Amino acid sequence: MASKPIIIALDYNSEKPVMELIAQLDPAQCRLKIGKELFTACGPDLVRNVKAKGFDIFLDLKFHDIPNTVAGACKVAADLGVWMLNVHASGGLAMMEKAREAVHKFGDDRPLLIAVTVLTSLAADDLKAVGVKANPEEQVSKLAFLTRQAGLDGVVCSAAETRLLRAQMPDDFCLVTPGIRRPEDAANDQKRVVGPVEALRNGSNYLVVGRPITKAESPADALASFNSALAGI
Protein backbone atom coordinates (compact mmCIF):
# COMPACT_ATOMS: atom_id res chain seq x y z
CA MET A 1 0.00 0.00 0.00
CA ALA A 2 1.27 3.49 -0.84
CA SER A 3 2.30 5.77 1.99
CA LYS A 4 -0.60 8.03 3.03
CA PRO A 5 -3.11 6.70 0.48
CA ILE A 6 -5.90 9.13 1.44
CA ILE A 7 -6.03 12.42 -0.48
CA ILE A 8 -8.62 14.80 0.97
CA ALA A 9 -10.40 16.98 -1.60
CA LEU A 10 -10.60 20.59 -0.40
CA ASP A 11 -13.92 21.45 -2.05
CA TYR A 12 -14.17 25.05 -0.83
CA ASN A 13 -14.13 28.49 -2.45
CA SER A 14 -12.27 30.50 0.21
CA GLU A 15 -9.20 30.11 2.41
CA LYS A 16 -10.84 30.31 5.84
CA PRO A 17 -12.58 26.89 5.84
CA VAL A 18 -9.46 25.32 4.37
CA MET A 19 -7.31 26.54 7.23
CA GLU A 20 -9.97 25.56 9.78
CA LEU A 21 -10.04 22.03 8.34
CA ILE A 22 -6.31 21.45 8.04
CA ALA A 23 -5.79 22.71 11.60
CA GLN A 24 -7.60 19.50 12.63
CA LEU A 25 -5.55 17.19 10.39
CA ASP A 26 -2.12 15.60 10.65
CA PRO A 27 -0.04 15.90 7.45
CA ALA A 28 1.52 12.54 8.31
CA GLN A 29 -1.89 10.90 7.86
CA CYS A 30 -3.13 12.32 4.55
CA ARG A 31 -2.46 14.45 1.50
CA LEU A 32 -4.65 17.28 0.17
CA LYS A 33 -6.21 18.06 -3.20
CA ILE A 34 -6.72 21.61 -4.44
CA GLY A 35 -9.05 21.78 -7.42
CA LYS A 36 -10.40 24.35 -9.85
CA GLU A 37 -12.92 26.11 -7.60
CA LEU A 38 -10.52 26.70 -4.73
CA PHE A 39 -7.57 27.57 -6.94
CA THR A 40 -9.65 30.02 -8.96
CA ALA A 41 -10.82 31.71 -5.75
CA CYS A 42 -7.52 31.82 -3.90
CA GLY A 43 -4.72 31.27 -6.40
CA PRO A 44 -1.12 30.15 -5.90
CA ASP A 45 -0.80 31.83 -2.48
CA LEU A 46 -3.17 29.27 -0.98
CA VAL A 47 -1.05 26.44 -2.39
CA ARG A 48 2.00 27.97 -0.72
CA ASN A 49 0.16 28.51 2.58
CA VAL A 50 -1.14 24.93 2.73
CA LYS A 51 2.25 23.53 1.74
CA ALA A 52 3.84 25.56 4.55
CA LYS A 53 1.70 23.54 6.99
CA GLY A 54 3.54 20.40 5.89
CA PHE A 55 0.95 18.86 3.56
CA ASP A 56 1.64 17.19 0.21
CA ILE A 57 -0.58 18.82 -2.40
CA PHE A 58 -2.24 17.29 -5.44
CA LEU A 59 -2.99 20.25 -7.72
CA ASP A 60 -6.04 19.00 -9.59
CA LEU A 61 -6.45 21.50 -12.46
CA LYS A 62 -6.76 18.94 -15.27
CA PHE A 63 -4.84 20.93 -17.87
CA HIS A 64 -6.14 20.43 -21.42
CA ASP A 65 -4.90 22.79 -24.12
CA ILE A 66 -2.32 22.99 -26.89
CA PRO A 67 0.99 21.30 -25.94
CA ASN A 68 3.06 24.45 -25.28
CA THR A 69 0.38 26.02 -23.12
CA VAL A 70 0.00 22.89 -21.00
CA ALA A 71 3.78 22.53 -20.67
CA GLY A 72 4.03 26.11 -19.41
CA ALA A 73 1.23 25.56 -16.91
CA CYS A 74 2.87 22.37 -15.63
CA LYS A 75 6.17 24.18 -15.14
CA VAL A 76 4.48 26.89 -13.07
CA ALA A 77 2.70 24.25 -10.99
CA ALA A 78 5.97 22.42 -10.40
CA ASP A 79 7.54 25.72 -9.31
CA LEU A 80 4.93 25.84 -6.53
CA GLY A 81 6.35 22.62 -5.10
CA VAL A 82 3.23 20.50 -5.43
CA TRP A 83 3.48 16.75 -4.93
CA MET A 84 1.25 15.81 -7.86
CA LEU A 85 -0.53 17.49 -10.79
CA ASN A 86 -2.63 16.32 -13.70
CA VAL A 87 -3.65 16.83 -17.31
CA HIS A 88 -6.44 15.37 -19.44
CA ALA A 89 -5.30 12.30 -21.38
CA SER A 90 -7.78 13.25 -24.09
CA GLY A 91 -5.50 16.21 -24.85
CA GLY A 92 -3.41 13.74 -26.82
CA LEU A 93 0.06 12.22 -26.94
CA ALA A 94 1.96 15.37 -27.96
CA MET A 95 0.38 17.42 -25.18
CA MET A 96 1.23 14.84 -22.52
CA GLU A 97 4.79 14.46 -23.78
CA LYS A 98 5.33 18.21 -23.56
CA ALA A 99 3.91 18.21 -20.04
CA ARG A 100 6.25 15.38 -19.05
CA GLU A 101 9.26 17.23 -20.45
CA ALA A 102 8.31 20.34 -18.46
CA VAL A 103 8.15 18.60 -15.08
CA HIS A 104 11.10 16.27 -15.65
CA LYS A 105 13.37 19.31 -15.80
CA PHE A 106 12.88 19.53 -12.04
CA GLY A 107 14.80 16.28 -11.54
CA ASP A 108 14.35 14.59 -8.17
CA ASP A 109 12.14 17.46 -6.99
CA ARG A 110 9.61 17.03 -9.78
CA PRO A 111 5.96 16.37 -8.99
CA LEU A 112 4.17 13.24 -10.07
CA LEU A 113 2.36 13.85 -13.35
CA ILE A 114 -0.81 11.88 -14.02
CA ALA A 115 -3.62 12.04 -16.59
CA VAL A 116 -7.39 12.02 -16.23
CA THR A 117 -8.99 9.22 -18.24
CA VAL A 118 -12.80 9.35 -17.89
CA LEU A 119 -14.39 11.50 -15.20
CA THR A 120 -16.20 9.48 -12.53
CA SER A 121 -19.34 11.55 -13.14
CA LEU A 122 -19.62 10.09 -16.65
CA ALA A 123 -21.45 6.87 -17.52
CA ALA A 124 -21.79 5.13 -20.90
CA ASP A 125 -24.70 7.32 -22.02
CA ASP A 126 -22.73 10.46 -21.19
CA LEU A 127 -19.79 9.31 -23.33
CA LYS A 128 -22.12 8.45 -26.20
CA ALA A 129 -23.62 11.95 -26.01
CA VAL A 130 -20.20 13.52 -26.70
CA GLY A 131 -19.36 11.15 -29.55
CA VAL A 132 -17.36 8.46 -27.72
CA LYS A 133 -18.60 5.04 -28.82
CA ALA A 134 -16.54 3.06 -26.32
CA ASN A 135 -17.95 2.23 -22.90
CA PRO A 136 -16.20 3.80 -19.86
CA GLU A 137 -13.97 0.78 -19.22
CA GLU A 138 -12.78 0.61 -22.85
CA GLN A 139 -12.15 4.36 -23.01
CA VAL A 140 -10.26 4.38 -19.69
CA SER A 141 -8.02 1.55 -20.91
CA LYS A 142 -7.35 3.26 -24.24
CA LEU A 143 -6.40 6.54 -22.55
CA ALA A 144 -4.29 4.78 -19.90
CA PHE A 145 -2.18 3.13 -22.62
CA LEU A 146 -1.76 6.52 -24.29
CA THR A 147 -0.69 8.02 -20.96
CA ARG A 148 1.88 5.30 -20.43
CA GLN A 149 3.18 5.81 -23.98
CA ALA A 150 3.66 9.51 -23.14
CA GLY A 151 5.79 8.58 -20.12
CA LEU A 152 3.52 9.92 -17.39
CA ASP A 153 3.41 8.45 -13.88
CA GLY A 154 -0.15 7.19 -13.93
CA VAL A 155 -3.81 8.05 -14.34
CA VAL A 156 -6.93 9.13 -12.54
CA CYS A 157 -9.61 6.47 -12.95
CA SER A 158 -12.67 5.07 -11.27
CA ALA A 159 -12.04 2.12 -8.96
CA ALA A 160 -14.40 0.20 -11.25
CA GLU A 161 -11.54 0.17 -13.79
CA THR A 162 -8.51 -0.27 -11.52
CA ARG A 163 -8.53 -4.07 -11.53
CA LEU A 164 -8.33 -4.03 -15.33
CA LEU A 165 -5.65 -1.33 -15.43
CA ARG A 166 -3.54 -2.98 -12.73
CA ALA A 167 -3.47 -6.13 -14.87
CA GLN A 168 -2.51 -4.13 -17.96
CA MET A 169 0.02 -1.69 -16.50
CA PRO A 170 3.37 -2.10 -14.74
CA ASP A 171 3.49 -2.01 -10.94
CA ASP A 172 4.99 1.48 -10.86
CA PHE A 173 2.13 2.97 -12.89
CA CYS A 174 0.14 5.01 -10.37
CA LEU A 175 -3.66 4.73 -10.14
CA VAL A 176 -5.49 7.57 -8.39
CA THR A 177 -9.15 6.97 -7.64
CA PRO A 178 -11.84 9.56 -6.87
CA GLY A 179 -15.44 8.69 -6.09
CA ILE A 180 -14.53 6.83 -2.90
CA ARG A 181 -17.48 6.26 -0.59
CA ARG A 182 -18.10 3.98 2.37
CA PRO A 183 -21.52 2.25 2.54
CA GLU A 184 -22.78 4.94 4.91
CA ASP A 185 -21.71 7.83 2.65
CA ALA A 186 -23.94 9.50 0.06
CA ALA A 187 -22.84 9.06 -3.57
CA ASN A 188 -23.77 12.71 -4.42
CA ASP A 189 -22.80 13.49 -8.06
CA GLN A 190 -20.45 10.52 -8.50
CA LYS A 191 -21.85 7.72 -10.68
CA ARG A 192 -19.05 5.12 -10.53
CA VAL A 193 -18.17 4.76 -6.84
CA VAL A 194 -16.37 2.09 -4.82
CA GLY A 195 -15.46 1.67 -1.14
CA PRO A 196 -11.90 2.37 0.08
CA VAL A 197 -10.92 -1.21 0.92
CA GLU A 198 -12.25 -2.55 -2.38
CA ALA A 199 -10.45 0.24 -4.26
CA LEU A 200 -7.04 -0.63 -2.81
CA ARG A 201 -7.60 -4.34 -3.32
CA ASN A 202 -8.47 -3.62 -6.95
CA GLY A 203 -5.13 -1.88 -7.38
CA SER A 204 -5.59 1.81 -6.60
CA ASN A 205 -2.59 3.56 -5.06
CA TYR A 206 -4.26 6.76 -3.85
CA LEU A 207 -7.90 7.44 -2.93
CA VAL A 208 -9.50 10.86 -3.23
CA VAL A 209 -12.08 11.46 -0.50
CA GLY A 210 -14.04 14.69 -0.11
CA ARG A 211 -17.32 15.17 1.71
CA PRO A 212 -17.20 11.97 3.84
CA ILE A 213 -14.25 13.63 5.63
CA THR A 214 -14.66 17.37 5.09
CA LYS A 215 -18.36 17.40 6.05
CA ALA A 216 -17.94 15.04 9.00
CA GLU A 217 -18.60 16.29 12.52
CA SER A 218 -14.98 15.42 13.27
CA PRO A 219 -12.84 15.35 10.12
CA ALA A 220 -9.91 13.93 12.07
CA ASP A 221 -12.02 11.02 13.32
CA ALA A 222 -13.40 10.40 9.83
CA LEU A 223 -9.87 10.34 8.40
CA ALA A 224 -8.79 7.95 11.16
CA SER A 225 -11.74 5.69 10.25
CA PHE A 226 -10.64 5.55 6.62
CA ASN A 227 -7.00 4.89 7.54
CA SER A 228 -8.00 2.22 10.06
CA ALA A 229 -10.08 0.40 7.43
CA LEU A 230 -7.08 0.37 5.11
CA ALA A 231 -4.45 -0.57 7.69
CA GLY A 232 -4.86 -4.32 7.25
CA ILE A 233 -4.48 -4.35 3.47
DSSP secondary structure of the chain:
--SS-EEEE---SSHHHHHHHHTTS-TTT-EEEEEHHHHHHH-HHHHHHHHTTT--EEEEEEE-S-HHHHHHHHHHHHHTT-SEEEEEGGG-HHHHHHHHHHHHTTGGGPPEEEEE-S-TT--HHHHHHTT--S-HHHHHHHHHHHHHHHT-SEEE--HHHHHHHHHHS-TTSEEEE--B--TTS--TT-SS-B-HHHHHHHT-SEEEE-HHHHTSSSHHHHHHHHHHHHTT-
Identify the CATH homologous superfamily for domain 6-230: Aldolase class I (3.20.20.70)
Res. 185: pLDDT tops 80: no
98 is catalytic: no
101-132: per-residue pLDDT in tens? Answer: 999 999 999 999 999 999 878 889 999 999 99
Of 26-35, 102-111, 195-204, the range with the lowest mean pLDDT is 195-204
Catalytic residue (choose from 62, 75, 142, 191): 62
What pLDDT shows up at residue 184? 62
Q: Could you state, in order of their start, the residue ranges of all structural domains in the chain?
A: 6-230
